[in-house]
Amino acid sequence: MVPEAWRGGLVSTGRVVGVLLLLGALHKASAAVIRYEILEEREKGFVVGNVVRDLDLDLGSLSARRLQVVSGASRRYFEVNWETGEMFVNDRLDREELCGTLPSCTITLELVVERPLELFSAEVVIQDINDNNPFFPTREMKLEISEAVAPGTRFPLESAHDPDVGSNSLQTYELSRNEYFALRVQTREDSTKYAELVLERALDREQEPDLQLLLTALDGGTPARSASLPIRIVVLDANDNAPTFNQSLYRARVLEDAPPGTLVVQVRATDLDEGPNGEIIYSFGSHNRAGVRELFSLDLVTGVLTVKGRLDFEDAKLHEIYIQAKDKGANPEGAHCKVLVEVVDVNDNAPEITVTSVYSPVPEDAPLGTVIALLSVTDLDAGENGLVTCEIPPGLPFSLTSSLKNYFTLKTSAALDRETVPEYNLSITARDAGTPSLSALTTVRVQVSDINDNPPQSSQSSYNVYVEENNLPGVPILNLSVWDPDAPQNARLSFFLLEQGAEIGLVGRYFTINRDSGVVSSLVPLDHEDRREFELTAHISDGGTPVLATNISVNVFVTDCNDNAPQVLYPRPGQSSVEMLPRSTAAGYLVTRVVGWDPDAGHNAWLSYSLLGAPNQSLFAVGLHTGQITTARPVQDTDSPRQTLTVLIRDNGEPSLSTTATLTVSVTEESPEALAEFPAGSAPREQNKNLTFYLLLSLILVSVGFAVTVLGVIIFKVYKWKQSRDLYRAPVSSLYRTPGPSLHADAVRGGLMAPHLYHQVYLTTDSRRSDPLLRKPGAASPLASRQNTLRSLDPVFYRQVLGAESSPPGQVRVSKSPWNDNVF
């Protein structure tokens, strides 16, 4: 038996139904329905059946799982014994009280168990017993029958009523023995019985004016129960024409929402008599069912049957009405007809929606099919008017499914994204199938909770930052624009700088980043001549779990400013250089050339040459962009034999920086070729000795250079092979290299370097398989740039410069001018 403490703590039926819906949606609803049959009026505690055995449940865990019996009725007719698993009668079962006159009486139960929650359906069929006697609505019936009535005339008798059904209901009638009347038992449309008195022998009022009969109603029970109705028959004087109906059966259809006064049907009867004996009065018959007079009204004169009360299809679908017609004669005779009124159902009840539970907030990574809410829908109408469907607006990641009748489950049907829609207000519409359709609307609010499913995002995958050299340390050079669409905790960003490439130490030595704001600053002043480009990687991570991160490439380009004055390559500063000028030289003779170099780049490295000082300004001219010193006129005898020239070398920067080069020109009578052959008065043997030494040194240098070149080519090929293999494996990128400014002397415009040698080519790395990939060469050092500038000169002049550099300080080398061979 269920303990009294537990029975007293039972929750209300509505809450239990909510638990029932939750069980049916989250776990399973048993498709099998157990069915029991029991006689009504069983004593309290009578065992109906063992639900634990029939449902294949574990009896030992029954108490822990708290098995409950739930029904839609207000009274708890059944309970379950947790110790035995038997369902027993808990309250009086009166089939007539539960189901009235319905032929079948079934109580639907829901069995709910917890841990885990499960739902099972059970039906208990209440069988009728013969516990009710038939009864007549009146204690005595009086019939007035004219003696002129012909044999065979039928007289309806008062109907008996029996609340029992089936074989226990009213089955037949019996009439006491007499010589005038016989009894005929008829069956209505609903299979109930009624009796008619049939005149078999003509009455004679003079012989027998009054008759006493006894009508007995019997049911089909064992033993049979009965009821008796005394019938008093008064024989009237003849009114030889009775009214007659034009038809014995009338049929009509009326809507259940028909207002009072609505016409149902008009019955018509006629009487051949004249005067009062021919005037007809209509009235309800004596054996109409209870409640007919409250629902319908009959006009006594016209025979018009109208609606009087409120019809309800859910209570009664068909009304059987008996109408009689009598004349106003002294001894009126009656005629009878039957009217079958069919009540047509209308959709007069809107559905009702009950939301029993809502699962909110829902994680945005909830799997498909996650149960969000449970709903129950009811509609009091019948047939199609009671068929209810639920729907939600289209285009939402939710769906409604029905596992049990009138129960719906709201589930997820697509992936949720809090960043797109953080909250849903779902409008759930319940609509029946009636015409016109009625509907009900309710709103379910579903919030979506955040998970860390979005890495930090940026408007661009790489940044190119241009910083002018000699910048102030600590001044921001870049503010990274990065955001995270997740919720605040998951969107909390942290910024770091990582090394990129083979070089390390760039972050801590040159740059730093604010961990919270993403502002990149330089730690030291940058020098364009020292390094022109820095390749960094900004690593941004969020605060979610697991942590998501994004890398952004940051290319810092150091732009040049004019912070270096030009330098003199030839004549070499600190060494005396004497250029020989034959006195017979004509105008336009190329004496020598001043070569300058500027470590800056671009316009800052464009050089111009001008003659700053000379004993005779009219004798020499300097090329503005070439630095070539030529004779402006023929050498005259009056010209000084020794000329000291000062050449000003100025760059194109803002502000412009300059330097000077000083050289000596000696006007001689000797041939320049002879002087060049024996420059310092050395003997031919010494020349041969020096030549042999230089040849051996050149051979050694060439051999070493060749070996280094071969080794470098091999290393380069292996490096390119590895790089191409890594490129194929890496994801496709669209990074573009920005060419840095070139570090060079103004050799193109000065005629020292062919223009086609100054061209650089950069291609995109987006074409992984078909396009060539050329890595941008690194910035040349000032020494290498100076050597490249010298190599672009005339070979003889290049050797002359090398010879000047290798001379001891303070020694004067007299060189042959290479420009006499029409090199330019």
What tokens were used for 454? 């979005």
pLDDT at residue 251, rounded to an integer: 94
Coarse DSSP helix, strand, coil percentages of the chain, rounded to the nearest 5 percent? 15, 35, 45
More confidently predicted of 678 and 215: 215
Q: How far apart are CA 354 and CA 335, in angstroms?
A: 55
Co-location of 150 and 87 in the same domain: no
Co-location of 575 and 550 in the same domain: no
Task: Give domain status of residue 686, yes or no.
Answer: no
pLDDT at residue 283, rounded to an integer: 93
pLDDT band at 359 (very low <50, low <70, confident <90, very high): confident
Task: Give domain status of residue 26, yes or no.
Answer: no
Q: Phi/psi at 708 (nearest 5 deg)?
A: -65, -40
The residue assigned the tokens 């698993």 is 85
Co-location of 70 and 160 in the same domain: no
- Helix (H) / strand (E) element for 392: namely none
Task: Give domain status of residue 231, yes or no.
Answer: yes
Among 259, 238, 365, CA closest to 307: 259
pTM of the model: 0.41
Query: Which of 449, 478, 504 delimits the end of a domain?
Result: 449
Task: Give domain status of residue 133, yes or no.
Answer: no
Co-location of 215 and 182 in the same domain: yes
The residue assigned the tokens 């019985």 is 193
Query: Which of 668, 696, 725 delimits the end of a domain?
Result: 668
- Helix (H) / strand (E) element for 363: namely strand 362-363
- Helix (H) / strand (E) element for 369: namely none
Task: Give domain status of residue 524, yes or no.
Answer: yes
Residue 164: pLDDT above 60? yes
pLDDT at residue 684, rounded to an integer: 45
Task: Give domain status of residue 784, yes or no.
Answer: no
Co-location of 232 and 248 in the same domain: no
pLDDT band at 41 (very low <50, low <70, confident <90, very high): confident
Provide the CATH number for the domain around residue 289.
Answer: 2.60.40.60
Domain span including residue 357: 352-449
Co-location of 478 and 502 in the same domain: yes
pLDDT band at 663 (very low <50, low <70, confident <90, very high): confident
Residue 410: pLDDT above 80? yes
pLDDT at residue 673, rounded to an integer: 53
Co-location of 217 and 269 in the same domain: no
- Number of domains composing the chain: 6
Task: Give domain status of residue 797, yes or no.
Answer: no
Co-location of 154 and 188 in the same domain: yes
Query: Which of 643, 668, 693 delimits the end of a domain?
Result: 668
Average pLDDT, the chain: 78
Task: Give domain status of residue 486, yes or no.
Answer: yes
More confidently predicted of 116 and 707: 707
Over the stretch 707-750, which tens digit does the pLDDT of each residue have?
999 999 999 888 888 877 665 554 433 333 333 433 333 333 33
Co-location of 291 and 356 in the same domain: no
Q: Is the Cβ–Cβ distance between 197 and 183 less than 8 Å?
A: yes
What tokens were used for 774? 């050329």
pLDDT at residue 319, rounded to an integer: 92
Q: How far apart are CA 454 and CA 241, in angstroms?
A: 99
First to last CA, the chain: 123
Hey, which residues does 540 pair with through a beta bridge? 495, 550
pLDDT more than 90, % of the chain: 16
Residue 119: pLDDT above 50? yes
Least confident of 210-219, 291-300, 429-438, 735-744: 735-744
Co-location of 120 and 205 in the same domain: no
Q: Is the Cβ–Cβ distance between 794 and 823 less than 8 Å?
A: yes
Co-location of 444 and 385 in the same domain: yes
Q: How far apart are CA 567 and CA 658, in angstroms?
A: 9
pLDDT at residue 470, rounded to an integer: 85
Q: How far apart are CA 162 and CA 173, in angstroms?
A: 13
Co-location of 470 and 546 in the same domain: yes
Q: How far apart are CA 438 and CA 430, in angstroms?
A: 8
